[in-house]
Amino acid sequence: MSHYREHIVHANKQYAEKFDRSRLAMPPDKKLAIVACMDARLTVEEALGLKTGDAHIIRNAGGVVTDDALRSLIISQRLLGTREILVINHTDCGMLTFKDEELRKRLKKETGTDCSHLSFHAFSDPEENVRAQVKKIKDSSLILKDVAVHGLIYHVESGRLQEVV
């Protein structure tokens, strides 16, 4: 067994022994849905003072509102009652370090696979990206119109949130 797997199995055993969340309701308590970057330095619950059961947290590279993220937001709202949405990007994001076309070429070279149909959603400005993601949400005819949508930047250097939208 790998060291990583041993650690996970042990940690889960300890977690299960103290588990006390079996009575949490399926809908999030704070009626909040969050789209955030997958960056390991951003612990959404800690940064926002949330606990398990408070919010739906949808994470992907760049905190981008892809079709799949939008699908999750629709389910979150229409079936599970969320009424507020946050989009969180962050400083020093890996999505700032490449261009989609560069990655497609690299993948073609390394794997022989044509990735021209894939969009990786790289961007050069986190604030612009946050505004664009908030706009995608607000422009969707499937998202409720009376919902507050906020865009934030998490500063990995300080842990502070900056409101953008």
Which pLDDT band, with edges at 50, 70 and 90, does 3 fall under? confident
Which pLDDT band, with edges at 50, 70 and 90, does 2 fall under? confident
pLDDT tens-digit map of 45-95: 999 999 999 999 999 999 999 999 999 999 999 999 999 999 999 999 999
pLDDT at residue 99, rounded to an integer: 98
pLDDT tens-digit map of 93-138: 999 999 999 999 999 999 999 999 999 999 999 999 999 999 999 9
pLDDT at residue 91, rounded to an integer: 98
pLDDT tens-digit map of 139-165: 999 999 999 999 999 999 999 999 999
What the chain holds in terms of domains, given with CATH numbers, is 23-163 (3.40.1050.10)
pLDDT at residue 47, rounded to an integer: 97
List CB contacts of 87: < 8 A, sequence separation 6 or more. Answer: 34, 35, 36, 63, 65, 130, 133, 134, 137, 149, 150, 151, 152, 165
Amino acid at 84: E
Tokens linked to 75:
């389910």
pLDDT at residue 1, rounded to an integer: 58
- Rounded to two decimals, the pTM is 0.93
Q: What are phi and psi of 91, to 5 degrees?
A: -70, 160
pLDDT at residue 126, rounded to an integer: 97
